[in-house]
Amino acid sequence: MTQLSRREFAALAAGAAVSPLAIGLSPAQAASITAQELIDRIRAQIGVAWKPETVDGVKAGEPTTVVTGIVTTALASLSVLQQAVKAGANVVIASQPVFYAKADARTPPARRGPGGPAGPGGSPPAGASQAPAAAAAPAEPPPADAVFTAKNAFIDQHKLVVIRLSDHWRLREPDPLAQGLGAAMGWTSLQVAGNPRRYDVPALTVAALVAALEKKLGANGGLRVVGDPKTNVRRIGILPGSTAIQASLELLPSVDAIVGGEVREWESVEYARDVVAAGGKKALILVGRIVSEEPGMRVCADWLKTIAPGLPVRHIAAGDPYWRPA
């Protein structure tokens, strides 16, 4: 993703009938809503009852901040925050946590100090390879963490507001993450029975599908495949985000290939391997959770334009976090 200049960002904002800049107002003056008012509009218009327990909400910054521009993204990485600031935006809306954990606290999680015994590690669901919990070492105050410190400092310095929008966005109908992924692949007109998770595409090999996914989703080292590259596929099912075995059991029997984000390897990867071994001419293609949710956050940017007219809104892809050596 190339970085945008303020001018380019303003030009993008000019999609509205009257650009705030064209009438001599800053975007903030034109719309003049606070981050909290933006959240209130999201809650009122998202079409999903707001959950009492949710990961969604402000993760950093002051809700009273007047919004100058909005960037949506799958991951509010430091790089995305930097690009947002360059583009003149001060609100970033992401589908993943900002501070490296579901708890999403601005300080590192308290746990054993350096050199301490390894606990079971980062795996809230009972992982297949989770070691029996070791006796927890006494919690020590976490040492200063340069990554947390720098990200917090950047957010504070630029008076950013970083919002997570995940639980409610993925419950919207039709599923904007699936819809977005289908659209990014150019498959919208090939959707089956109004189901944004199903597309019947002209037959192509798994290898060709993989190449198209790399090109159109920006998938790189994170892309992994179960199945023969030469297998022909036509019926595609998509599972953005992180999904459990139940989703694959439900979908794979009726499609030739699943394009998914992230699964647990001991579940869907092994299931797909057995399906292929049993003679199924099928494939499971994983692009990674972040990459798989990016198009859905582009859809989010388009939607936000409708509920916050006049405000510059755009999507910035975080990119594939992974690379693979030759």
Partner 1 sequence: MKAGEIVDRIKQQLGVPWRDATYRDTFKSGGPETEVTGIATTCFVTLDVIKRASAAGLNLIIPHEDTFWNDRDDSAIVERDPLYQEKRALLTAKNIAVFRIHDHMHAQRPDFTYVGSARAVGLDPKHEDPPGSHRFVIPETTLAALAADVKKRTGARALRVVGDPKAKVSRIRLGVGYASPPIDAPDVDVLISGEQQESDGTFDSQPYALDAATLGIVKGLILLGHTVSEEAGMLEMAQWIKSFVPEVSVQLIKAEEPMWGPAPR
Interacting residues with partner 1 between 7 and 36 (CB under 8 A): none
Question: Binding string to partner 1 for residues 31 to 70, with x set by CB under 8 A, is what?
Answer: ------------------------x---------------
Instruction: List the strands of the sheet with 70-73, edge to edge.
Output: 57-60, 161-164, 91-94, 70-73, 313-315
Shortest spacing between CB 183 and partner 1, in angstroms: 22
Instruction: For residues 24 and 205, give the distance between their C-alpha atoms in angstroms, rounded to a whole number.
Output: 53
- Diameter over CA atoms, the chain: 66
Q: Does 75 bind partner 1 (CB under 8 A)?
A: yes
Which CB atom, from 33 or from 58, has the smaller least distance to partner 1? 58
- Contacting residues for 144 by C-beta, under 8 A, at least 6 apart: none
The closest alpha carbon to 89, from 164, 35, 169, belongs to 35
Question: Binding string to partner 1 for residues 300 to 319, with x set by CB under 8 A, is what?
Answer: ------------------x-
Which CB atom, from 41 or from 224, has the smaller least distance to partner 1? 224
Is residue 206 within 8 A of residue 285, CB to CB? The reply is yes
Q: Is the peptide bond before 63 cis (omega within 30 degrees of 0)?
A: no
Instruction: Give, as ranges, the residues between 88 and 117 that touch partner 1 (CB under 8 A).
Output: 96-97, 100-103, 108-109, 111, 114-115
Binding segment for partner 1 (CB under 8 A), chosen from 20-28, 141-149, 194-202, 300-308, is 141-149
Q: Does 135 bind partner 1 (CB under 8 A)?
A: no
Q: Which of 140, 221, 254, 309 is close enough to bind partner 1 by CB under 8 A?
A: 221
Q: Which residue has the tokens 């690379």?
A: 323
